[in-house]
Amino acid sequence: MKSVWLQENKWEDVEHYLENKKTILVPFGSVEQHAKHLPMGTDSLVAIKVAEDAAAQTGTLVAPPTWVGWAPHHMAFPGTITLRPETLTNVAMDIIQSLVYHGFEKIILINGHREANLPPLKIAVTKLRNRTGAFIAIADPFYIAEQVGRRIRLSEAGGIGHAAEMETSHMYYIHPELCEEENAVKNVHQKHPFLQHDPYSGGDRVFVPSDVAAYREGSMNIGVVGDPTVSTKENGEIYHHELVGNIVNFIQYCEEEVQVTLRNQEIPL
């Protein structure tokens, strides 16, 4: 392979790859407001970099990234693009089904948009896992890098949310040229404990979807929820390497231990 990226290879390279290896990574992100200090493509840039580094360490192919995701509440700020959730489900299904048609058996989605993309992506992978027999997983930083996140966080409870501590540290490490540290603003206020958004604080909680107007106001008209003022490039580096290392570990598990028999290999029509 000349590149880990599928789209930078020729079809014959893919044919040769499939003779020995049946795994592929598929990045999904979002283009949405990320306050005044991070670029709108943050979630996609994270998915792309994480996938690229894990792929390079394991000689695994990466499918083209899907840049836009499901982000209705971020429409409160200009520039955000959101798909309808069923559109994202269908895009994911068509990409995965195309890969399965060619013989990819183990498909790992790398989701850089955390919670928000998960419902539509989970529907897509559950349908196709049952229909095709392919082993399909979603690696999301919330879950596959939870331990390191809990260990290195510096902010108080509520400090991890959107454009907040962890993804800001991560971006300072992987894309410092696109960040404006001097514009990072803290927005942590006490809510009812059941409404706690911080994934590492634990506790009992309920789900209430965001409303566009309420989100704008609740994010101080800036788009930040949490505390990016404590973020550091050093913590971003630790976070990135543990996140990538866990994905590498999972790729190795998929290749060595997961057995797949494909069925219903159909072209999406």
Instruction: Note the residues at the interface with Zn ion (CB under 5 A).
Output: 42-43, 167
Nearer to Zn ion, 42 or 97 (CB): 42
Nearer to Zn ion, 111 or 196 (CB): 111
Q: For the chain, how far is it from start to end, CA to CA, in angstroms?
A: 30
Which residue has its beta carbon closest to Zn ion?
A: 43
Q: How far is CA 142 from CA 103, 112, 117, 139, in A?
A: 30, 9, 12, 9
Question: Tokens standing for 163?
Answer: 């454009």
Query: Quick check: 226 and 198 in contact, CB under 8 A?
Result: yes
Q: Give the nearest distance from C-beta 167 to Zn ion in angstroms.
A: 5
Q: In what order do the strands lie in the sheet with 106-111?
A: 61-62, 23-28, 106-111, 135-139
Nearer to Zn ion, 4 or 138 (CB): 138
> Which of 42, 258, 46 shows the shortest CA–CA distance to 140?
46
Q: Give the nearest distance from C-beta 162 to Zn ion in angstroms.
A: 6
Q: Give the nearest distance from C-beta 98 to Zn ion in angstroms.
A: 27
Nearer to Zn ion, 52 or 167 (CB): 167
Q: Give the nearest distance from C-beta 152 to Zn ion in angstroms.
A: 18
The partner residues of 106 in beta bridges, in order of sequence, read 23, 135
